[in-house]
Structure 1
């Protein structure tokens, strides 16, 4: 996984994860401290993540990220990470890291 922006916020505690590509779904169900996994790469992702108090956003699927999205996340201190794994794969890996005993 590559950190694209918000490195200063990487020490935030992640208490859950949420996988959705629907902005409205995350607005309704994202919770403070969650890590949002999505393939959406537009500016609204940053705004909604901040509104929900997300610990960070993982952009999945290896898609190109507009530079203005990275700049906004950096300015807001929002960790924005990028991976070539699809959402299912990275969700499984992160779940294992967070919860495997």
Structure 2
């Protein structure tokens, strides 16, 4: 599934990184610990987090993640938006909790 399809199906807000909306998503990783994501997330996964600082995009780029999804309506720092655009990794937002979004995303991806 492409990031653009995920946005449409889950009614996500695109904050930045629009040039990466054609990236493929193979799964997701849920964590708020950067070291955990760095050690365990896999290429082409979407990362669900509540972290909003610029280091999020550094990890997303290092791991070649498809997108970063911020939960609970959280908004990123300006430097995070800038890095998202530079790395062409979509930064998305939802008002859903981590639990709600994870369940919705799992249901979508298991059938695709």
Give the TM-score of the pair, scaled to structure 1: 0.94
Q: How many matched pairs? A: 101
Give the TM-score of the pair, scaled to structure 2: 0.85
Q: Aligned residue for 1:27? A: 38
Question: Matched residues in 2 for 1:60 and 1:36: separation?
Answer: 11
Question: Matched residues in 1 for 2:80 and 2:65: separation?
Answer: 16
**Structure 1 spans left out of the alignment, 5+ residues:** none
**Structure 2 spans left out of the alignment, 5+ residues:** 1-11
- 1:11-90 equivalent positions in 2, closer than 5 A: 11-90=22-101
The alignment partner of 2:92 has SS state of strand
The alignment partner of 1:12 has SS state of coil
CA RMSD of aligned residues (A): 1.2
Structure 1 moving runs of 4+ over 4 Å: none
Post-superposition Cα deviations, 1:22-61, rounded to whole Å, max 9, x if no partner, equal 0000000011111100000011100001001101110111
